[in-house]
Structure 1
Amino acid sequence: MGLRERKKLATRRALERETMRLALDHGIDNVTVDDIAAAADVSTRTFFNYFASKDDAVVGTGPPRPTPEARDEFTGGGPTGDLVEDLKTYLASVTDGDHDDLRDIMAKVRMRERLLERDPRLVPRVMARFASMEQEMSADMAARLGVDADDVAPQLVSALATTLMRFSVRRIETVDGDTSVDLRRLLDETFETLRATLTPPSRS
Structure 2
Amino acid sequence: MSVAEEELGLRERKRLATRRAIQLAAVELASERGFDRVTIDEISHVANVSPRTFFNYFPSKESAIIGELPELPDEERIERFVGAGPKESILDGISDLLIAAIDTGELAGETGGDTSEVARAVQELHARRRALLKDNPELFALRMASMHQFEDALSTIIQRRLAHDDPALLDDAETLHQRARLVTYVSFAGMRHAWSCWADHGGVEPLADRLRSSFEQLQALGNHVR
Alignment TM-score, normalising by the size of structure 2: 0.69
**Alpha-carbon contact 2:78-2:97 (below 8 Å) kept:** yes
Secondary structure in 2 matching 1:99: helix
**Alpha-carbon contact 1:66-1:91 (below 8 Å) kept:** yes
| AA aligned opposite 2:205 | V
Q: Which residue number in structure 2 is paired with residue 151 of structure 1?
A: 177
2:196 counterpart of 1:190: no
Deviation at 1:43, TM superposition (A): 1.4
Q: Percent identity?
A: 30
Residues 106 and 71 (structure 1), Cα distance of their counterparts in 2 relative to 1, 3 Å cut: farther
| AA aligned opposite 1:31 | V
Secondary structure in 1 matching 2:84: coil
Deviation at 1:113, TM superposition (A): 1.8
What whole-Å deviation, never above 9, does each CA across 1:84-141 have from its counterpart, x for those lacking one?
A: 3222111222331511127555543332221123322222211101111110111111
**Alpha-carbon contact 1:116-1:123 (below 8 Å) kept:** yes
Which of 121, 125, 136 lines up with 2:142 in the alignment?
Answer: 125
Q: Which stretch of structure 1 is more off in the superposition, 142-151 or 154-163?
A: 142-151
Q: Which residue number in structure 1 is paired with residue 5 of structure 2?
A: none
2:109 counterpart of 1:99: yes
In 2, distance between residues paired with 1:105 and 1:73? 32
In 2, distance between residues paired with 1:195 and 1:129? 27
2:81 counterpart of 1:71: no
In 2, distance between residues paired with 1:145 and 1:108? 38
Q: Which stretch of structure 1 is more off in the superposition, 118-127 or 103-112?
A: 103-112
Q: Which residue number in structure 2 is paired with residue 17 of structure 1?
A: 24
Deviation at 1:158, TM superposition (A): 1.2
Residues 180 and 52 (structure 1), Cα distance of their counterparts in 2 relative to 1, 3 Å cut: closer
In 2, distance between residues paired with 1:114 and 1:175? 17
Alignment TM-score, normalising by the size of structure 1: 0.75
| AA aligned opposite 2:72 | P
**Alpha-carbon contact 1:67-1:96 (below 8 Å) kept:** no
Deviation at 1:160, TM superposition (A): 0.8
Q: Which residue number in structure 1 is paired with residue 187 of structure 2?
A: 161
In 2, distance between residues paired with 1:201 and 1:135? 28
Q: Which residue number in structure 2 is paired with residue 181 of structure 1?
A: 205
Q: Which residue number in structure 2 is paired with residue 172 of structure 1?
A: 198
**Alpha-carbon contact 2:190-2:218 (below 8 Å) kept:** no
In 1, distance between residues paired with 2:135 and 2:17? 27
2:44 counterpart of 1:37: yes
Secondary structure in 1 matching 2:109: coil
Q: Which residue number in structure 2 is paired with residue 60 of structure 1?
A: 67
Q: Which stretch of structure 1 is more off in the superposition, 64-73 or 193-202?
A: 193-202
- Name structure 2 gaps, 5 residues minimum: 1-7, 113-118, 164-169
In 2, distance between residues paired with 1:201 and 1:43? 55
**Alpha-carbon contact 2:198-2:204 (below 8 Å) kept:** no
Secondary structure in 1 matching 2:205: coil
Q: Which stretch of structure 1 is more off in the superposition, 121-130 or 65-74?
A: 65-74
Deviation at 1:201, TM superposition (A): 8.1
Higher helix share: 2
